[in-house]
Chain A
Amino acid sequence: MSAEYATPVSKEGLEATGSAITSASAASRGSRPGGTAGRRAGIILLGLIVPALILLAWHLSTASGFFRPSQLPSPASVLAAAVDLIERGQLATHILISTQRVILGFLIGSLLGVLAGALLGLSRLADVLLTPTVGALRAVPSLAWVPLLVLWIGINEDSKVTLITIGAFFPVFTTLYLGLRHVDRNLVEAARAFGVNGVRLLTTVQLPAVVPALFSGLRLALAQSWLFLVAAELIASSMGLGFLLTDSQQTGRVDRIILAIILLAVIGKITDALLGIAERWAVRRWA
């Protein structure tokens, strides 16, 4: 026993301790790529079953005369409405202007949310000074800002983007602020013990630790941006999917209303999926 113990630790011995776990994880990693592509395609196909069924039910209910075309137009007539708008060159304009507003408002709002969340999440003083005010502002329902924005900024792109900015700001701010509050104290202390502090502590420990939380905030913010976009466009606009909705309501074009709703659903889902891909990458990288 004592003789054995006296032998200095060999590197092989030390490596043996860890070899089992790494080879196991390497094996599981190796088996993934082939299966993943197939599995992901399968998951996407499964997710399309319900929309396909809805489309079928929609078609049958209109074809059988259960709904009158003025109540619910058939899928084919909604498609025709889309083709008509495309031929007039209007559909692309509506989609592009709405997407542009969302992206601008989302980017500005998220950036401000990150800055404010970092400030209040990291500085005791800023937290004590500003948190009650920010909380009160967050409690204001989004549409309450509209009259003020219209008077101050006018009915133009800026007021719409500003409203979306407000909508995108709070989810990012809240998740980042709370995330920074809950960064593992042990990790922070360990880093501080090695002389890491200030900006370096922020970039090496605190920000990486909140990346997963930040991304869930960003996804919420993107959903909010689309919500606020429609609110802004319903109230005052001459272009965009929200405008297409109000305009069609006034002209009684149910087919175009349904088209706009479907477009909002599809584009919203696409932008969310893109952000979801970025989120998965970030979580793998940082968590």
Chain B
Amino acid sequence: MTAVLAPSTTQSHSKQALAVHFSGLGRSFGPADNRRVVLRDVSVQVEPGEILAILGTSGCGKSTLLRAAAGLDVPDSGEVLIDGTPVAGIDERCAVAFQEPRLLPWHTLQANVAIGLPKSSSASAGKAKVLELLKLVGLDTFAKHRPREVSGGMAQRTSLARALARNPGVLLLDEPFGALDALTRIKMQDLLLDIHSAQPTTVLLVTHDVDEALQLADRILVLGRNDDGQDGSTVAELVPVPGARPRNRNSTELGALRSSLLSMLGVTGH
């Protein structure tokens, strides 16, 4: 698999893994007289090439944080810096994969992946790149299929391939495996690690699955309320995950971390 991806890393529009810096990020939603603070003062430095998992309870602002980095949402305060320059609008350096595949139903998988190509890529190089990515996610024989003709897991892999077609400096994944069955999810997680080792881009992975975070991440950011009683989530914890990947799911070290993460998320006794 590494060999498959090798040519793309040498292509001219290849981008380096980029650092992401959230600086004092704050965001509230709702009408002026009833603002609900979702995020406040989130500051994190993500190193180039790092996989950061963002964990938190439902509605804590995980996706909002990711959307700010993608330029899909504008924070009320603070900013996101990618490679030192602030994000203003949709950012060429990022690529997003959403929880749902969000493929265009009237296009083939191949054409859907091609949507992700950077504007600068030439037609022939673009096509080669798309086919190469479809091969990477194991869908080269389904290139001409429509999204409704393939399974949910295959659609999600296409969505991942579309994101990779950008050759992104930062890969933003918003619970991309959340809607998949357990087996497909494990395969997708392995695929992500394969891709990351072949093309070490920075990955921000929003998830509600503690085990997924433990398997994939270099560090885990837990979003949640602080003890000071103020509204809105902020950085509750930022913990490094021990051990080199792939990790043994049953190691005691990870078990202890899993328990402590779960209790941070309000689940005790596991």
Contact = CB atoms under 8 A, between A and B. Distances in A.
A2 B150 contact: no
A98 B100 CA distance: 51
A197 B151 CA distance: 29
Interface in B214-268: 246, 248-250
Contacts of A20: 151
A20 B183 CA distance: 15
Interface string A1-21: 110011011010111011011
A186 B98 CA distance: 9
A9 B106 contact: no
B90 A22 contact: no
B70 interface: yes
Contacts of B151: 17-18, 20-21
B36 interface: no
30 contacts: A2-B250, A6-B246, A9-B190, A9-B194, A11-B138, A14-B139, A17-B153, A17-B183, A17-B184, A17-B187, A18-B142, A18-B150, A21-B149, A21-B151, A22-B149, A190-B96, A191-B115, A192-B72, A192-B90, A193-B72, A193-B90, A194-B95, A194-B116, A194-B162, A195-B118, A195-B119, A204-B104, A205-B104, A211-B106, A287-B105
Contacts of A186: 98, 100, 102
Given A2-B249, A18-B153, A8 B90 contact: no
Interface in B36-70: 70
A286 interface: yes
B194 A8 contact: yes
Contacts, number: 92
A14 B137 contact: yes
B186 interface: yes
A285 interface: yes
Contact of B106 (A22, A192, A285): A285
Given A14-B187, A21-B151, 19 more contacts: A5-B249, A6-B246, A13-B187, A14-B138, A17-B187, A18-B142, A18-B150, A18-B151, A20-B151, A22-B145, A186-B102, A187-B104, A193-B90, A193-B95, A195-B92, A197-B90, A205-B104, A208-B104, A211-B106
Contact of A15 (B1, B138, B145): B138
On chain A, which size bracket covers the interface?
A: 20 to 34
B191 interface: yes
Interface of A: 1-2, 5-6, 8-9, 11, 13-15, 17-18, 20-22, 25, 186-187, 189-197, 204-205, 208, 211, 285-287
Q: Is the interface of A mostly helix, strand, loop or mixed?
A: helix
A2 to B, nearest CB: 4
A7 to B, nearest CB: 8
A264 B184 CA distance: 58
B180 to A, nearest CB: 10
Given A186-B98, A194-B115, A8 B138 contact: no
B104 A195 contact: no
B182 to A, nearest CB: 12
B154 A18 contact: yes
B157 interface: yes
Contacts of B119: 195
B149 A25 contact: yes
B84 to A, nearest CB: 21
B141 interface: yes
A13 B98 CA distance: 23
Contacts of A197: 90
B166 interface: yes
B185 to A, nearest CB: 11
Contacts of B149: 21-22, 25
B246 A5 contact: yes
B115 A15 contact: no
Contacts of A192: 72, 90
A6 B193 CA distance: 11
Given A17-B154, A189-B72, A285-B106, A8 B98 contact: no
